[in-house]
Amino acid sequence: MDRHPRVAQSSKPSPRRNPYAHIKKVNGKRSGLETAVAADLSGKGEVFLEERHIAAIEYRNMKVKKYHPDFQLPNGIIIETKGWFKTQDRTKHLCLNYQHPELDIRFVFSNPNAKIGKKSNTTYAMWCEKNGFKYAKGLVPEAWLHEREYLDGSHK
């Protein structure tokens, strides 16, 4: 008797699926980290925009795509919260950085010391430093909230 029943294979290729479809949004957020950052910013009385209120940013990676930032602070800083920092996310942010150098995109990681892959020694923090992105662990640093945006788009 066969312990593993056979599953019929379809001759049609499966359609591309959203890799994040299995992640349920709770209160409009995909992760506990997003929820924690939103609560922290609100608790500090900070004004910010959330993903659903920020206009999508177009970029090209073989075809035109849209990026929806997690948060945007009044000073223009874009905050992206990450638990897992997958290859396609890293590629997307490199494309965005190259095609939109005027954007100040920063990361808040659950664990910036996590490796980008099982066989890699590179951590999320090392990747950010190598590619010119600022990052923090856990929550948005107070200093980012008080940075001023200057006419040339720089922050100090």
Q: Where are the domains of the chain?
A: 50-146
**What is the mean predicted confidence (pLDDT) over 96-111?**
95
Residue 99 to residue 29: CA distance in whole angstroms: 27
- pTM for the model stands at 0.65
Residue with tokens 């664990």: 111
55-59, 117-121, 130-134: segment of lowest average pLDDT: 55-59
- Most confident residue range from 6-15, 24-33, 36-45, 135-144: 135-144
Q: Is residue 48 a contact partner of residue 73, using CB atoms and an 8 Å limit?
A: yes
Give the tokens for residue 63.
Answer: 């075809």
State the distance between the two ends of the chain, measured CA to CA, in whole angstroms: 71
The single-letter code of the amino acid at 42 is S
CATH number assigned to the domain with residue range 50-146, chosen from the 4 options 3.40.91.30, 3.40.50.970, 2.10.109.10, 3.20.20.70:
3.40.91.30
